[in-house]
A and B are shown apart, each in its own frame.
Chain A
Amino acid sequence: MTPQETRSRESAAGVPLVAMFWDMLRIRIIEEEIAVRYPQERMRCPVHLSIGQEAVSVGVSHALRKSDQIVSTHRCHAHYLAKGGDLSAMLGELMGKATGCCAGRGGSMHLFDADAGILLSLPIVAASIPVGVGAALAMRQQGKDDVAVIYLGDASLEEGVFHESANFAALHRLPAIFVCENNLYSVYTPLNERQPARPLADLGRAHGLATEFVDGNDITAVYLAASRAVDRARRGEGPSFLQADTYRWREHCGPNFDNHIGYRTEAELEAWRQRDPIAQLRTKLLASHMLDESAEAAMTASHTEEVKACFADAEGAPYPSVDTVSERVYAV
């Protein structure tokens, strides 16, 4: 089976499992390649890898259409790629090249792709949340039935601006979907040292948002919950809050594993690896004969080839001219 054949076969079933597998595998391969190449110091900016968390962004993105908008955070690679962000422009940005999505002005934490409905990414925790709600407000003002997805981490719930934004979205029943990726840590600080023992989703409920909790490593659950939220938003029934628990496999910032340094355990990582969203879906697809090993190998080869070509593009691309450094401070 070619990937195209498997994709068309499963689309009849409603949940695009093979397409989502394709996307998760692609993001994993891209992120692993970034980790491998990072020590070469060609990507001269911080990188916050999404490895282990792919199911959330891929599951959500498959419930969206191109004109829907997302906003993201410092950990934006998977969100960007899952929504259809251009890979060469992403790698170019990581390398500070003129071909980068921000022409080298933003780095890895400012990914955006207007053509793909990726409005912006901001590295200040929770800063992009109101911007996403503002996109939803503009959709309402312009009479569109698009939706805005706001990716946020567990620590964002500690920021006042989350509550201000959720309150406003609920007040005006805006087509906003708050997707809280709870990966249990803010840098090195665990959730239980930052928040009392209460379900994160209760915060969404308290603001009057339609709220669901899902296993963030179960892509079917993510996809179905996101689809329900999108349907509500398009029908004008207001905003939703989706809590998806997951786990960041590598360090907060950088290419390495860090469970050995003392803030979380090796056993914890191992337990989450057992729940790898990609491996879980793979098992399911193989068992239901929606995927076989040769199709999987073809997918891997295709992604590997694409990643190699895009890295070569980015490495070969020119740096922005230094003559442009002071340009475009103001719009004219």
Chain B
Amino acid sequence: MPSSPVITASEAIRHALEIGLEEHPDAYLIGEGVTDPSGIFGTTKGLLQRFGPSRVMDMPVSENGLTGIVIGSALMGQRPIMTHQRVDFALLCLEQLFNTAAKCHYVTNGHHRVPLTVRMVIGRGWGQGPQHSQSLEAMFAYFPGLKVVMPTTPDRFKGMLLSSIDDDNPIIFLEHRWLHYVTGSVPTEGTRVPLDGPRVAREGSDVTIVASSYMVLEALRAADALARVGRECEVIDLQIIRPLVIAPVAKSLAKTGRLLTCDTGWRTLGIGSEIVSRLCESAWGAFRCAPVRIGLPDHPTPSSLPLAQAFYPDSTSIVAAIGNMTELSPAKIAEATSIAAAARQGVPIDKPDPAFKGPL
């Protein structure tokens, strides 16, 4: 009888890496710190001991060079899994990711394959500031040829990481640091979750909320609070940013007539911008009110606690937006806002919310 114990997402990631390395003799793990005692937030712990230094490799601090090197090995039949402890460091690799990895298959008319998974961690909190907390999925998703995966729940982290390792394309696998702590039931075996698009995280009839990664948790909290004042939100966890599968969102919009998007990155030119554009083009008649996008404001992430507080939208921002979209009375908006705010139990904005620990 297969079991599904409750574990954290970081444990789920470690299990996926272990199974991926076990099942694919051509797979290897490489990254700054993958052999460290702390093991990339626990996600690579013990893998060196299990698979040895030729399969689990630390690397020089040379992000761009090593990206080209793992691509070259992938073209020769290896299956590299690369890890960056912050998205911000991966910016050094963009030439290789955008010019080489994303285009090799197309340019060679399908001859070359780049079975490469690049894990990147989105930092947040504890004053990480302008260059340790960026959420840049929109930039990666701009490039045809890359797949961009952003799971939310532990079972998805495991199943989608395994699918990414299996996949013959270059994959940007984005892990929000605060989701590493989240728990959930995860099958012990190597069950794959296909990289095929969004999932409905909560059903509802009044508003469609499209969120990804950490913002799914804030959206679910907002949906709980709004349900208490008579508004039912459908929460769609986007999961795969590219190739973007819009049909499930369109289907939900047809039901609710209202669309709110929540980015973990900047609002301007964010994923929400693309979703709103596509649905305005293809489903204009479905909108009962103007769509709304939530995302980060147009400035870098500040380090200081009160400034960070002003920077990050949360469940109360979602409640306020949906209150307006659904013409809730000010009293009910205030009620739902206080329910959502209370759920955080006064935890400061620079720390992960223990109430989000799950299990999901």
Map CB proximity to B onto A162-187 as digits: 1 under 8 Å, 0 otherwise.
01110110010000000000000000
Nearest CB in chain A: distance from B56 CB, A: 13
Map CB proximity to B onto A131-163 as digits: 1 under 8 Å, 0 otherwise.
111111111011000001000000000001101
Nearest CB in chain A: distance from B209 CB, A: 28
Nearest CB in chain B: distance from A269 CB, A: 33
Alpha-carbon gap, A130 to B115, bound state (A): 17
Nearest CB in chain B: distance from A273 CB, A: 36
- Is A34 engaged at the interface, CB distance under 8 Å to the other chain? no
- Residues from chain B with a CB closer than 8 A to the CB of A329 are 105-106, 144-145
- Residues from chain A with a CB closer than 8 A to the CB of B59 are 168
Alpha-carbon gap, A205 to B66, bound state (A): 21
Nearest CB in chain A: distance from B77 CB, A: 6
A127 to B73, Cβ gap below 8 A?
no
- Is A209 engaged at the interface, CB distance under 8 Å to the other chain? no
Q: Choose the segment among A8-16, A23-31, A117-125, A196-204 that binds chain B (4+ C-beta atoms closer than 8 Å).
A: A117-125
Partner of B68, one of A69, A133, A331: A133
Q: Choose the segment among A100-108, A239-247, A256-264, A300-308 that binds chain B (4+ C-beta atoms closer than 8 Å).
A: A100-108
Q: Which residue of chain B is the closest to A138 with respect to CB atoms?
A: B76
A331 to B110, Cβ gap below 8 A?
yes
A165 and B68 in contact (CB under 8 A), knowing A134-B74, A331-B169?
yes
Alpha-carbon gap, A163 to B62, bound state (A): 9
Alpha-carbon gap, A189 to B119, bound state (A): 39
B76 to A127, Cβ gap below 8 A?
no
Nearest CB in chain B: distance from A203 CB, A: 15
B75 to A106, Cβ gap below 8 A?
no
Alpha-carbon gap, A112 to B76, bound state (A): 13
A141 and B54 in contact (CB under 8 A), knowing A114-B111, A134-B75, A331-B169?
yes
Q: How many residues of A contact B (CB 8 A)?
A: 43
Alpha-carbon gap, A128 to B96, bound state (A): 9
B108 to A105, Cβ gap below 8 A?
yes
B99 to A122, Cβ gap below 8 A?
yes
A137 and B73 in contact (CB under 8 A), knowing A102-B108, A167-B62, A330-B145?
yes
A160 to B64, Cβ gap below 8 A?
yes
A161 to B72, Cβ gap below 8 A?
no
- Is A235 engaged at the interface, CB distance under 8 Å to the other chain? no
Nearest CB in chain A: distance from B1 CB, A: 35
- Is B112 engaged at the interface, CB distance under 8 Å to the other chain? yes
Q: Which residue of chain B is the closest to A123 with respect to CB atoms?
A: B99
- Is A129 engaged at the interface, CB distance under 8 Å to the other chain? yes
- Residues from chain B with a CB closer than 8 A to the CB of A137 are 69, 72-73, 78
A120 to B78, Cβ gap below 8 A?
no
Partner of B75, one of A120, A160, A165: A120
Partner of B64, one of A103, A105, A142, A164: A164
Q: Which residue of chain A is the closest to B72 with respect to CB atoms?
A: A134
Q: Which residue of chain A is the closest to B76 with respect to CB atoms?
A: A138
Alpha-carbon gap, A165 to B66, bound state (A): 7
Name A40-54 residues within 8 Å CB distance of B.
none
Alpha-carbon gap, A122 to B99, bound state (A): 9
B109 to A135, Cβ gap below 8 A?
no
B68 to A131, Cβ gap below 8 A?
yes
Nearest CB in chain B: distance from A156 CB, A: 12
Alpha-carbon gap, A167 to B28, bound state (A): 20
A138 to B73, Cβ gap below 8 A?
yes
A330 to B105, Cβ gap below 8 A?
yes
B54 to A165, Cβ gap below 8 A?
no
- Is A328 engaged at the interface, CB distance under 8 Å to the other chain? yes
- Is B104 engaged at the interface, CB distance under 8 Å to the other chain? yes
Alpha-carbon gap, A279 to B27, bound state (A): 50
Alpha-carbon gap, A142 to B54, bound state (A): 11
A135 and B65 in contact (CB under 8 A), knowing A141-B28, A171-B60, A329-B106?
no
- Residues from chain B with a CB closer than 8 A to the CB of A168 are 59-60, 62, 65-66, 69
A69 to B65, Cβ gap below 8 A?
no
Alpha-carbon gap, A127 to B59, bound state (A): 19
- Residues from chain B with a CB closer than 8 A to the CB of A131 are 68-69, 71-72, 75, 100
Name 20 extra pairs, CB < 8 A, besides A134-B69, A331-B169.
A69-B76, A112-B112, A119-B75, A120-B112, A128-B68, A130-B67, A131-B72, A134-B68, A134-B76, A135-B76, A137-B69, A138-B78, A141-B73, A142-B77, A165-B69, A171-B60, A328-B109, A329-B105, A330-B145, A332-B168
Nearest 6 pairs of A and B residues by beta carbon: A134-B72, A130-B68, A164-B65, A138-B76, A164-B62, A131-B72
Interface residues of B (CB under 8 A from A): 26, 28, 54, 59-60, 62, 64-78, 95-96, 99-100, 104-115, 144-145, 147, 168-169, 243
Interface residues of A (CB under 8 A from B): 69, 71, 102-103, 105-106, 110, 112, 114, 119-120, 122, 124, 127-139, 141-142, 148, 160-161, 163-165, 167-168, 171, 327-332
Sample (8) of A-B pairs whose CB atoms are under 8 Å apart: A130-B66, A130-B72, A138-B72, A138-B73, A160-B64, A164-B60, A168-B66, A331-B168
